[in-house]
Structure 1
Amino acid sequence: MNPIRSSALAAAVAVALGATSLPALAADAATEAQLRKMVELQAQQIAQQQQQIAAMNARLSALEQGAPAPADAATGTQAQVAAAVADTRQDDDLAILKAQVAQMAVKGTGGNGNVSWRKGGPEFKSADGSFTFHPRGRALMDFSTTRGSGYDDRNVTGTDFSSVRLGAEGTMGALGYKVEADFAGNGVTLKEVYASYDTRIGGLPTEFYLGNKLKDRSIEGATGGTTTPFMTRNAVASVGGMDSGFFGLGLTTKVYGDNWHASLAVTGDDAGNDSDANDTIAYLTRVHWNPIKRASGFMHVGGWYWYENLGRDVTSINKTSPVALGWNGEVRISASSISDPTNDHAWGAELGGVWRSGWAFAETTVRTINSSTEASRDQKASSYSAGWLLTGEKPGFSDRSGVWGTTKVLNPVTDGGWGAFELAARYDDYDYTDTARGGEGDAWTVGVNWYLTNWSRLMFNVVHWSTDNKVGSYRGPDSGNTVGLRAQVVF
């Protein structure tokens, strides 16, 4: 192969490999035929440049020697370039493959954009983007130790998988689905299992969910356990919870505006409930609004309400809230049993915001339980929390749905960075004293979060708690300290 042909071939391959310099190669819909056409186009451009060089050389020769330039110089060059492209058709296919690999590296996708690894696991997507499939999973491994209690049985140390889930989610055009099962505690429990439909009503994005879904109730009550800034949800999420649980099998609708969202749900018991009695039917609504929304941050105002018509199988309600990071079940605040409940309801209020790398939120709730044999009882809780990302990331709080989401790490450890570091603090207050033998307590929590990547983090929590129970094995004032560590991977 002569030097001109070699130069043309090298230039054609270089153009194919330089995918980031071609606007067409940045498009997800680039096909092999289009890539081949681009290579040929670049070959033609090379030929034109060779023609110009040849013409300039001819004119220079004419000036220096007084002789005309050869008339077929440009034509010969173009023929040689065309021959080089034709002779290297197989090499051209290799160049196309390399260009596609380069495109994968730039966009984090492969197979013409059909596979993405940006969520920590593979997400498969059809060529037109209408169909997706994403295997899901999580593993939350905890260590906890408690010291300082006046009761030796409360001073325990141990390890646990607080959550181990496997599942999948995907879309089929406007339709979607999600299936998750939790294997923690050596048992299998269905969590979110639903079908969804995305549409627009009155020009506003609207989502419908049919199945078992996490209820939209309070900030941390509506947040998945892998994105809350602390190892356990706050007091409002615990005390303001329904008797039917965090999940409910039924219909949920969410509508989104530019700076607000609203939800409405009607659910029964969660998946796996017994079939020997009527379900507890729950009605739930939540609204949030961002009166201030800027590039540097936003203000969050929210509220929610729910009502439950309790099933006949609910013969009593005996609320106990864990305050020592969940694993230590001995450190709880007892509300005392309320017999023969007929219905219950609760309301909650939310206030807070995000500014640059900082965040702060306050929540409160009151739950009222009505009984056929005794007076109505109120259970109350308040939570106040704040945090700061030391490495400059934006907090992972969603101004669209008003819940905690993924923190986007600027320099993940997989790219040679330090990850993201966050300091956080929280105060929780529990008040069950409206019942004659109801207890009360509080907890101060300080936490350090190290986000290695968008889907993995290490957590360190220190909790100073106090309880004053009127019933149970640990009556009277008591206090202690609990230290917890968590390693989690989510995809």
Structure 2
Amino acid sequence: MKLSRLSLAITAILGSSLSTAALAIDLYVDTYTEQLYAKPGPGRVHIGSFVREDKPKTADKTADNTTDKTETADNTGPIAAEKKETADLSAVRRDIELKSKMMGARLASDIASLEERVKETENVHVQFTDSAPHFASKDGNFTFAINGRMQVASQYNFINDVLPATGTNLPNEWNSGATLRRARLGAEGTFFKIWDYKFEYDFSRGNGSVASGITDAYARLNVTKPFSVKIGSFKEPFSLEEAASNRYLTFIERHMSVNSFVDNPNTYKTGIGVNYAVPRFQFGVAFQTEPIGAWSAASTSVNTAGNVSRNNGSGDSGWEGIGRITGRPWMEDETKFLHVGISAGHTAVNTQYNAAGQIATTPSAQGGGGGGMAFFAFPGTNVDRTNMLNTGNLSVGDKGAPGSRRIDSYDRFGAEGWLVHGPFAVQGEYLRTNINGLGYDNEHFTGYYGFASYFLTGESKAYHVKNGAANRIKPRQNFQWNGSGWGAWEVAAGYDYINLNSGVIRGGQADMVRFALNWYPHPNIKIQNNIVHILNVNTEGSTISRTAGFNKADLSSFLTQVQVEF
């Protein structure tokens, strides 16, 4: 019967472990497992008796030589038979020992290889941070995490009193409905400990077009823990509310001046930025340009056919230098502090003329376009974000013609304040945008807002040190169906004002109030409810029929948003 290598090894081990006094041992093999046993049992077959070979004793010279010689010579007799049996057993043992050594060496090699593979798998650690999978190498040189957010929004307009549309224009009123406000998915991580990166794509941005869907896409070198340099596409360092992720806003939508002066012209620009951040002080500057892509959500240039001014032969895109300084001059702890800051930036705007000296408003055969710049505002609604206020393109008229105007650049300034004292917080900003160019003389836009919030369940606003802005709220007790936890509950109320009327520009003026009831059942889930009410709208003198139709409108809406993010 053929024995396995393991059985042969056991045979060798059993043979070496027998006492020298033992003359023979009976061995049995299991017909199923092929293992050897020293005792009979079910399924075991006797394979023979084996005698241990001891060191041959010195021949007794006094013995009967005649008898020994006779038995040795003719290989007969009991002594010769015993020697032959011993020699055969020794040969079997040597074969078993040789095969056992070979099997042992191979087994040791297999175990070593297995241990090496186990060590390799141990080099990667997987854990969940903020409910997202986070991968990290054992030495900490490489990390990788997935991030994402989904915001489902609804809007119901219970007061919708506007002027009727004229001619072939669409109705001026707001529309009620629901939408997927944002749907983003991204990846971020580190490599070699001093570098980090982030890439994020918004599937709802620009109707899913590739160029407009990208938000963050950068690599950052952390020179020291507080000091870093990044390159790629990232947010402008400007404004307290803009610096905060839309995941952590108190109200569903940002305030009108922040949207109009920062977010609507696309705050995600491409360039290089420097940042320094410690718990009490933050500083950021950037040199950026307008990104290449569809105007719908990724450019500051405006024309009726979309952003064709970014295509071949249309000239350079506009560059900007921008910066923000913030700090917490008073700070007892992370639940009691005063944050203040200022922002400033200069942005060049590209306006192109065709060969006849006209601003092209439709794509040319060479792909050129007019460019220019417009500012507009919508009053905090999340489904129908119609431009209630609109300056129209600030580059108008033929080149050199009387009355023509051209925007060459604009300057932005901002001041911000934020006080947190336990569950109570107040926040406000003032922003101004100056228009520079042909036909403009000190035209400027202004806006400001202020609001107060209070956590009924005792939480405090959280602070993001690197951004110098709001961070994720973590409830003291997560919501439980049995009533042992209710999550975090927050109420807020505020005022919002913007003025896009200045000099020859008639973009409109508006102010409003808003109220919020927010529920945070878990750190990664937020349910928001807002009421917005327009106090006054003045669009008299606007040349844009839709904007003119909102003059003296009476509007109120109830907004909701359910957010899941990680």
Sort the TM-score into its range (normalised by shorter chain).
Answer: 0.7 to 0.9
Q: Tell me by how many angstroms 1:414 deviates.
A: 6.5
Q: Residues 44-63 of structure 1 correspond to what in structure 2 (within 5 A)?
A: none
Q: Residues 78-477 of structure 1 correspond to what in structure 2 (within 5 A)?
A: 114-151=125-162, 153=171, 154-172=173-191, 173-184=193-204, 186-188=207-209, 189-200=213-224, 205-241=226-262, 244-270=265-291, 272=293, 274-276=310-312, 277-295=315-333, 296-313=335-352, 315-330=371-386, 332-339=388-395, 340-398=406-464, 401-413=467-479, 417-436=485-504, 437-465=506-534, 466-470=536-540, 471=542, 472-473=545-546, 474-477=549-552
Secondary structure of the residue aligned to 1:365 is strand
Partner of 1:58: none
Query: Contact 2:254–2:380 (CA<8 Å) still a contact in 1?
Result: no
Per-residue Cα deviation, 1:161-203 (whole angstroms, up to 9, x for no partner): 1111111111111111111111115314111001111122xxx
Task: Tell me, in whole angstroms, the C-alpha distance in 2 between the residues paired with 1:113 and 1:406.
Answer: 28
Task: Tell me, in whole angstroms, the C-alpha distance in 2 between the residues paired with 1:184 and 1:476.
Answer: 31
- Structure 2 residue runs of 5 or longer lacking an equivalent are 1-120, 165-170, 295-309, 353-369, 396-405
Aligned length: 379
Query: Contact 1:147–1:156 (CA<8 Å) still a contact in 2?
Result: no
Q: Classify 1:384/1:111 alpha carbon distance in 2 versus 1 (closer, same or farther; 3 Å).
A: farther
Alignment-mate amino acid for residue 480 of structure 1: L
Q: Tell me by how many angstroms 1:337 deviates.
A: 4.0
Per-residue Cα deviation, 1:229-284 (whole angstroms, up to 9, x for no partner): 11111133123327852111001111124411100100011353634331210111
Q: Classify 1:121/1:414 alpha carbon distance in 2 versus 1 (closer, same or farther; 3 Å).
A: farther
Task: Tell me, in whole angstroms, the C-alpha distance in 2 between the residues paired with 1:111 and 1:361.
Answer: 47
Secondary structure of the residue aligned to 2:154 is strand
Alignment-mate amino acid for residue 334 of structure 1: N
Task: Tell me, in whole angstroms, the C-alpha distance in 2 between the residues paired with 1:133 and 1:414.
Answer: 31
Alignment-mate amino acid for residue 331 of structure 2: K
Partner of 1:60: none
Alignment-mate amino acid for residue 176 of structure 1: D
Query: Contact 1:358–1:388 (CA<8 Å) still a contact in 2?
Result: yes
Task: Tell me, in whole angstroms, the C-alpha distance in 2 between the residues paired with 1:135 and 1:399.
Answer: 21
Moved more, 253-262 or 471-480: 471-480
Secondary structure of the residue aligned to 1:425 is strand
Q: Classify 1:258/1:397 alpha carbon distance in 2 versus 1 (closer, same or farther; 3 Å).
A: closer
Alignment-mate amino acid for residue 428 of structure 2: A
Q: Tell me by how many angstroms 1:356 deviates.
A: 0.8
Task: Tell me, in whole angstroms, the C-alpha distance in 2 between the residues paired with 1:414 and 1:318.
Answer: 49
Secondary structure of the residue aligned to 1:433 is strand
Per-residue Cα deviation, 1:138-166 (whole angstroms, up to 9, x for no partner): 11100011232322741421110111111
Secondary structure of the residue aligned to 1:229 is coil
Task: Tell me, in whole angstroms, the C-alpha distance in 1 between the residues paired with 2:176 and 2:387.
Answer: 12
Alignment-mate amino acid for residue 163 of structure 1: R
Moved more, 142-151 or 438-447: 142-151
Q: Residues 25-44 of structure 1 correspond to what in structure 2 (within 5 A)?
A: none
Per-residue Cα deviation, 1:71-101 (whole angstroms, up to 9, x for no partner): xxxxxxxxxxxxxxxxxxxxxxxxxxxxxxx
Alignment-mate amino acid for residue 245 of structure 1: N
Query: Structure 2 length normalisation: TM-score?
Result: 0.63
Task: Tell me, in whole angstroms, the C-alpha distance in 2 between the residues paired with 1:231 and 1:334.
Answer: 22
Q: Tell me by how many angstroms 1:475 deviates.
A: 4.5
Query: Contact 1:281–1:310 (CA<8 Å) still a contact in 2?
Result: yes
Per-residue Cα deviation, 1:366-421 (whole angstroms, up to 9, x for no partner): 10111213434201000101111111112123355321111122212379622111
Query: Contact 2:380–2:532 (CA<8 Å) still a contact in 1?
Result: yes
Task: Tell me, in whole angstroms, the C-alpha distance in 2 between the residues paired with 1:448 and 1:317.
Answer: 36
Aligned: 1:482 with 2:553:
no
Q: Tell me by how many angstroms 1:133 deviates.
A: 0.7
- Larger Rg, first or second structure (1 or 2): 2
Secondary structure of the residue aligned to 2:531 is strand
Alignment-mate amino acid for residue 253 of structure 2: T
Task: Tell me, in whole angstroms, the C-alpha distance in 2 between the residues paired with 1:149 and 1:467.
Answer: 13
Task: Tell me, in whole angstroms, the C-alpha distance in 2 between the residues paired with 1:113 and 1:405.
Answer: 29
Query: Contact 1:281–1:311 (CA<8 Å) still a contact in 2?
Result: no
Partner of 1:106: none
Secondary structure of the residue aligned to 2:257 is helix
CA RMSD across the alignment: 2.3
Task: Tell me, in whole angstroms, the C-alpha distance in 1 between the residues paired with 2:311 and 2:412.
Answer: 26
Q: Tell me by how many angstroms 1:328 deviates.
A: 1.5
Query: Contact 1:191–1:271 (CA<8 Å) still a contact in 2?
Result: no
Q: Classify 1:325/1:282 alpha carbon distance in 2 versus 1 (closer, same or farther; 3 Å).
A: same
Query: Contact 1:145–1:157 (CA<8 Å) still a contact in 2?
Result: yes
Task: Tell me, in whole angstroms, the C-alpha distance in 2 between the residues paired with 1:365 and 1:292.
Answer: 24
Q: Classify 1:142/1:206 alpha carbon distance in 2 versus 1 (closer, same or farther; 3 Å).
A: same
Query: Contact 1:324–1:331 (CA<8 Å) still a contact in 2?
Result: no
Secondary structure of the residue aligned to 1:413 is coil
Q: Classify 1:124/1:242 alpha carbon distance in 2 versus 1 (closer, same or farther; 3 Å).
A: closer
Alignment-mate amino acid for residue 390 of structure 2: S
Query: Contact 2:382–2:559 (CA<8 Å) still a contact in 1?
Result: no
Query: Structure 1 length normalisation: TM-score?
Result: 0.73
